[in-house]
Amino acid sequence: MGIVDQIVAGDLRTAARLLRDIDDQMPSARPVLRELYAHTGKAHVVGFTGSPGVGKSTLVDQLALQYRKKGLTVAILAVDPTSPFTGGAILGDRIRMQRHFLDPGVFIRSLATRGHFGGLTRSTNDMINVMDAMGKDVILVETVGVGQDEVEIAHNAHTTVLVTIPGMGDEVQAIKAGIMEIGDIFVVNKADREGSRKTIRELKNLVELGFRRKEENTWVPTIFETQAPKGVGIEELHEGILKHREYLLANDQGQLDRLLEKRARYQLTEAIRDEAYKAVLERLEGNGISLDALVQKIKDKEGDPYSIVQEVVGKTAP
Amino acid sequence: MGIVDQIVAGDLRTAARLLRDIDDQMPSARPVLRELYAHTGKAHVVGFTGSPGVGKSTLVDQLALQYRKKGLTVAILAVDPTSPFTGGAILGDRIRMQRHFLDPGVFIRSLATRGHFGGLTRSTNDMINVMDAMGKDVILVETVGVGQDEVEIAHNAHTTVLVTIPGMGDEVQAIKAGIMEIGDIFVVNKADREGSRKTIRELKNLVELGFRRKEENTWVPTIFETQAPKGVGIEELHEGILKHREYLLANDQGQLDRLLEKRARYQLTEAIRDEAYKAVLERLEGNGISLDALVQKIKDKEGDPYSIVQEVVGKTAP
């Protein structure tokens, strides 16, 4: 049985090896991904974003248990953009995998996002495709980060869950408004903390404000309170996520269609950026020009970066 | 007097127009940036990162006042990756500019990071170069975001200040460790809050752990407690930032040199990525192939993104 067949059959070892190759940006992963693509498109991809410290990992673990109770298979992908510095050890798979160790229905992997940022979204995408082709019913994607990171992750998910906690200060309100458009579901975790009522109220106001003139068949973000370590509110949140999935599937206004198109566009443009850059570097090398020499020139102010780039991209292209 | 001369002379209107053009990614900004580059390299660039809600803006405003007291000129650049969704209104210049309105020595601009992420770092870089060429002594760069964003910003700064608050949970420790290598200075803001002592202690432990086997002339991160709205601890923090600058300038181990090389490399590779992508799109268009058609093909699974990209980048390159 070839690699592709093994992965489609759900073989964990083969899948794990491929995922590691993707994280290491090995070119050997590409032909496999190419063939696997036809097997994707069945999983429900749920993205979780929010500041560090809000308890996303525990929330995701608890939700995985809910899916398992219903007999669904789950993959968890933890994207940790801070780990280029630590080798990915901190949010490592090992500790978390112990939790679901006896349950082969939960497949956990983390992406250490080595190398350049451009690689992050692309690798996330590739890994989701592998987990999807494996036949996982649900893929829970969790990212450490607020800001552009979560916007990028949201491009890869069908349902985006924004997690916050009480008492994060006024600035949070600004953030919430800013990313309101990418959040399908809002969660106030650690809801037993002081200020929980206030945070919930403010979120409700924001949603009401933002969706005052809602069109028919628009999804209005829903809000949930949870205490993840105690399991409080998890069932309700789980139902909420399933509701959003039903909405996407049932909606005859083409919501899912638009989402899939957006995802395809995103995958394509990210990949073109990456490959086009690599092609320029290769051609530079072929012409005997080293990147190091150009860096030195800019640093020493012998040239400005703007002219050098134009020259380099112009020179190496037809 | 030409645009370049006007900016070097510190003309605010001309500079503001150029910065807006950069944010809008107007090609007309490029020739100006090219000429301005020779005038850069004098300002001290200080980056501020940390989760939303930790009070970075107030901290930066207070520090600006400290620099002004010493007669130095200050530029503040607020990078807000969430604002593609809001048009940049939330972290808008207007509210903050009122604060320093009567002081022409403080120049405040925000970057709304419209469009693709690739543009964020590049525009940040370009804006720093403009502010530098204007003759500002200090450029305080503040970003909303944790994770990859702050790593990117750190590539642009000479001194990186990581801001946190007490009681952000265990996960924060992981983050702190992960980004320890990019933080020159750590600030625990809102230090009057519960848990402040504990956070300081944990940070101290992390620094001790991370720099146990420090080499000679290594900068060991310093830690400060502040209450930004009340101005508590600001003078000490300001002195701490100046100390790091002195360290960079005095160090004969080539720290500053390495930093400048890293920055030049970063600027160059980011710009190549951007331009190479644009070149591919232009050539596609020239060949009568629309990006939309390719997106549709991927979405409908008539092709896989991996093959299509290879074809596109290969076809349009020699």
pLDDT tens digits, A287-303: 899 999 999 999 888 88
Residue B174 clears pLDDT 90, i.e. is over it: no
Check whether residue A299 and residue A233 sit in a common domain: no
Which range has the worst mean pLDDT, A65-69, B135-139, B220-224, B256-260?
A: B256-260
Q: How confident is the model at residue A29 (pLDDT cuts 50, 70, 90)?
A: very high
Q: What is the pTM of this model?
A: 0.70
Confidence at residue B278, expressed as pLDDT on a 0 to 100 scale:
87
Does residue B281 fall inside a structural domain? yes
Check whether residue B116 and residue B235 sit in a common domain: yes
Check whether residue B57 and residue B129 sit in a common domain: yes
Residue A48 clears pLDDT 80, i.e. is over it: yes
Phi and psi of B312, rounded to 5°?
-65, -50
Q: What is the mean pLDDT of chain A?
A: 80
Query: Is A301 in CB contact (< 8 Å) with chain B?
Result: yes
Domain final residue, candidates B202, B226, B253: B253
Single out the residue of A142, A140, A164, A151 nearest to residue A53, CA to CA.
A164
Single out the residue of B159, B183, B182, B180 nearest to residue B241, CA to CA.
B159
Domain final residue, candidates B226, B253, B280: B253
Asked if the Cβ–Cβ distance from A118 to B273 is below 8 Å, we say yes
Does residue A119 fall inside a structural domain? yes
What CATH number is given to the structural domain containing B216? Answer: 3.40.50.300
Domain final residue, candidates B218, B253, B288: B253
Residue B159 clears pLDDT 70, i.e. is over it: yes
Select from A55, A149, A272 the Cβ nearest to the Cβ of B147: A149
Does residue A183 fall inside a structural domain? yes
Task: Name the pairing type of β-strands A138-143 and A44-49.
Answer: parallel
B302-305, long-range: CB within 8 Å, 24+ apart, which pairs? B304/A33, B304/A34, B304/A35, B304/A37, B304/A38, B305/A37, B305/A264, B305/A267, B305/A268, B305/A271
Query: Is A306 in CB contact (< 8 Å) with chain B?
Result: yes
Check whether residue A114 and residue A176 sit in a common domain: yes
Single out the residue of A155, A158, A152 nearest to residue A139, CA to CA.
A158
Q: Region B106-129: what's the mean pLDDT?
A: 74
Does residue B11 fall inside a structural domain? no
Confidence at residue B264, expressed as pLDDT on a 0 to 100 scale:
87
Check whether residue B230 and residue B277 sit in a common domain: no
Confidence at residue B181, expressed as pLDDT on a 0 to 100 scale:
61
Q: Region B136-156: what's the mean pLDDT?
A: 73
Q: Region B159-178: what's the mean pLDDT?
A: 65
pLDDT digits (tens, 9 = 90+) for A246-265: 999 887 667 788 888 888 88
Confidence at residue B83, expressed as pLDDT on a 0 to 100 scale:
44
Residue B222 clears pLDDT 90, i.e. is over it: yes
Q: Which of residues 51-70 of B touch A (CB under 8 A)?
A: 51-55, 57
CA A10 to chain CA centroid, Å, is 22
* A38 close to B38: Cβ distance less than 8 angstroms: no
Check whether residue A83 and residue A170 sit in a common domain: yes
Confidence at residue B115, expressed as pLDDT on a 0 to 100 scale:
47
Distance CA A21, CA A19 (A): 5
Range of the domain at A291: 270-316
Confidence at residue A24, expressed as pLDDT on a 0 to 100 scale:
80
Check whether residue A232 and residue A306 sit in a common domain: no
Query: Is B296 in CB contact (< 8 Å) with chain A?
Result: yes
Confidence at residue B132, expressed as pLDDT on a 0 to 100 scale:
96
- Its sign, for the CA torsion A185, B175, A101, A113, is positive
* The pair of three-digit structure tokens given for residue A150, joined into one six-digit string: 């979560």
Check whether residue A79 and residue A227 sit in a common domain: yes
Q: How confident is the model at residue A153 (pLDDT cuts 50, 70, 90)?
A: low
Single out the residue of A206, A187, A84, A192 nearest to residue A142, CA to CA.
A187
H or E element that contains A252:
none
Query: Is B12 in CB contact (< 8 Å) with chain A?
Result: no
pLDDT digits (tens, 9 = 90+) for B286-317: 989 999 999 999 988 888 888 898 888 875 44
Q: Which of residues 16-45 of A touch B (CB under 8 A)?
A: 30, 33-35, 37-38, 41
CA A72 to chain CA centroid, Å, is 21
Asked if the Cβ–Cβ distance from B291 to A268 is below 8 Å, we say yes
Does residue A135 fall inside a structural domain? yes
Check whether residue A204 and residue A75 sit in a common domain: yes
Check whether residue B124 and residue B159 sit in a common domain: yes
Confidence at residue A250, expressed as pLDDT on a 0 to 100 scale:
86
Asked if the Cβ–Cβ distance from B145 to A147 is below 8 Å, we say yes
Distance CA A36, CA A44 (A): 17
Q: Region A18-28: what's the mean pLDDT?
A: 86
* A50 close to A163: Cβ distance less than 8 angstroms: yes
Among chain B residues, the shortest Cα distance to A144 is held by: B147
Confidence at residue B101, expressed as pLDDT on a 0 to 100 scale:
55
Does residue A128 fall inside a structural domain? yes
Tokens 């190398």, residue located: A115
Q: Which of B272, B291, B301, B311 to mutate against chain A (most A CBs within 10 Å)?
A: B272
Residue A274 clears pLDDT 90, i.e. is over it: no
Q: Which of A22, A32, A51 to mutate against chain B (most B CBs within 10 Å)?
A: A51
Residue A11 clears pLDDT 70, i.e. is over it: yes
Residue B92 clears pLDDT 50, i.e. is over it: no
Instruction: Report DSSP state, residue B190.
Output: S
Angle, in degrees to the nearest 10, between helices B118-133 and B148-156: 30
Residue B163 clears pLDDT 90, i.e. is over it: no
Does residue A12 fall inside a structural domain? no
Domain count, chain A: 2
Does residue B4 fall inside a structural domain? no
Confidence at residue A49, expressed as pLDDT on a 0 to 100 scale:
82
Asked if the Cβ–Cβ distance from A147 to B82 is below 8 Å, we say yes
Q: Map residue B66 onto helix, strand or coil.
A: helix
Distance CA B92, CA B108 (A): 10
Q: Map residue A256 onto helix, strand or coil.
A: helix
Among chain B residues, the shortest Cα distance to A176 is held by: B82
Residue B56 clears pLDDT 70, i.e. is over it: yes
